Copies of this chain bind each other. A is one copy, B any other.
Amino acid sequence: MRSEVARLDVISIAALCLLLLLGGCAGLRGTGDMGVVIEREAGRVLVVETTGQSIVSKVQGLGNLSHASVVYSRDARYAYVFGREGGLSKVDILRGRVVKRIVQAGNSIGGAISQDGRLVAVANYEPGGVKVFDADTLEPVADIPAVYGDGGQRSKVVGLVDAPGQRFVFSLWDAGEIWVVDMQNPAAPQITKFKDIGKNPYDDLLTPDGRYYAAGLFGENGLALLDLWHPEAGVTRIMQDYGRGDEPLPVFKMPHLEGWAIAGNYMFVPAIGHHEVIVFDTRDWKEVKRIPVYGQPVFVMARPDGRQIWVNFAVPNNEKVQVIDAASLDIIQTLTPGKGVLHLEFTPRGEHIWISVRDEDRVKIYDTATFKELKSLPADKPSGIFFTTRAHKIGL
């Protein structure tokens, strides 16, 4: 009798161990095909994978996720989620849980991870400046207040990106300045300030090679351009006709600059307030063509091979997506994913695109060669979609 009880114990413990083994190891998988989808109102992210096109887990408790953005650790395991109300959350996408969460400011607008992956920086509106954290622990490393003028004022910070050489670059909305911060020695950031770059820089982009930093100006036309290979040359002005124009039209949503598409020598740019995508030649920054599109463009994104440009639109035209052929500069496809198309993300080699459709509570997946809808996943008011391949990119 005793030995039977013991045998049962042995069997049940073995079974328990097997369960633990399977459960504990369920996360054993490559992270190259993973990503997260922001569910903005639920304060949650969906962890997804693009091979089986499925939802792997849901991670809650991330606070206000309107306008949230994400960068990844260099091993592509941890997603750093930047919320609007100063929240910075480190999410383990393999285990599907929050590792650490801090609230580091009152109001913030995205962040970046350093070239070596050791530092995470956040751009803050309130208090204006950049805070830098240890990527492992989220312990504070550096605080860079965006003081300007007589030193008594602090500016909102926008357009924070990482750049080669362990640098962060960002713009000061109120001050009209661009700052380049060298973090080689995290304890003593070296700041280079470029002043009078233009009125109210509102967003920025870094070219994919990490060389040119361009700031869009809300207060005037043109872009402020800094060549990071030649900072001694200072900031110059390009694309002088680009902007809101002399008679600004109502703008329903300011276009994002980070999404601007560079394909070959052309840059595809959303017009502000107009139903146009403007094509510039990056060799001389001159306008090549204005392509009429369905609405006010928001994101203008190049497929990773540069052959197609995908565009979504502001209200009231946010139910459609259009595709421009980068060779002919013609629109070759118009899709109607549904009301509230907020974001688009290509799979790393561009065969598919994932589109968040807020008002339908869906993420839809399309084949970029056939334009067929392949699958649709349920998501609660989805906004940004971020795949792990971003871990390896410069300037996000």
Q: Is the contact region of chain A dominated by helix, strand, or loop, or is it mixed?
A: loop
Copies of this chain per assembly? 2
- Choose one: B32, B184, B264; the contact of A369 (CB below 8 Å): B184
* Interface core residue of A115, A264, A283 (most chain B CB under 10 Å): A115
Instruction: Output the least CB separation between A10 and chain B (Å).
Output: 5
Q: Which residues of B contact A32 (CB under 8 A)?
A: 31-32, 72-77, 388, 391-392
Of all chain B residues, the one with the shortest Cβ separation from A2 is B3
The stretch of A124-132, A239-247, A348-356 that contacts the partner chain:
A348-356
A73 and B33 alpha carbons, distance in the complex (Å): 9
A72 to B6, alpha carbons, bound, how many Å? 48
Task: Tell me the complex Cα distance, A74–B94, Å.
Answer: 16
Least CB separation from A95: chain B residue: B28
Contact residues in B for A209 (Cβ distance below 8 Å): 263-264, 305-306
Would you call A75 and B31 a contact (CB within 8 A)? yes
Stretch of A18-26, A81-89, A187-195, A267-275 at the chain-chain interface: A18-26
In this assembly, does A327 line the interface, its C-beta being within 8 Å of a C-beta of chain B? yes
A313 at the interface (CB under 8 A from B): no
In the complex, A72 Cα to B33 Cα: how many Å? 11
The distance in angstroms between the C-alpha atoms of A13 and B364, with both chains bound, is 47
Q: What would be 30 A-B contacts, judged by CB atoms less than 8 Å apart?
A: A2-B3, A2-B6, A3-B3, A5-B6, A6-B10, A13-B14, A13-B17, A16-B17, A25-B28, A28-B95, A29-B77, A29-B94, A30-B75, A30-B78, A32-B391, A32-B392, A115-B350, A115-B351, A116-B349, A116-B351, A117-B349, A164-B350, A166-B369, A209-B263, A209-B305, A229-B307, A230-B327, A349-B393, A389-B392, A392-B392
Which A residues lie at the B interface, using CB under 8 A? 2-3, 5-7, 9-10, 13-14, 16-18, 20-21, 24-25, 27-34, 49-51, 72-78, 94-95, 115-117, 164-166, 184, 209-211, 229-230, 263-265, 283, 303-307, 327, 347-351, 369, 388-389, 391-394
The 10 closest A-B pairs by CB, nearest first: A6-B6, A32-B76, A30-B77, A17-B17, A30-B75, A348-B392, A164-B305, A210-B305, A33-B75, A30-B31
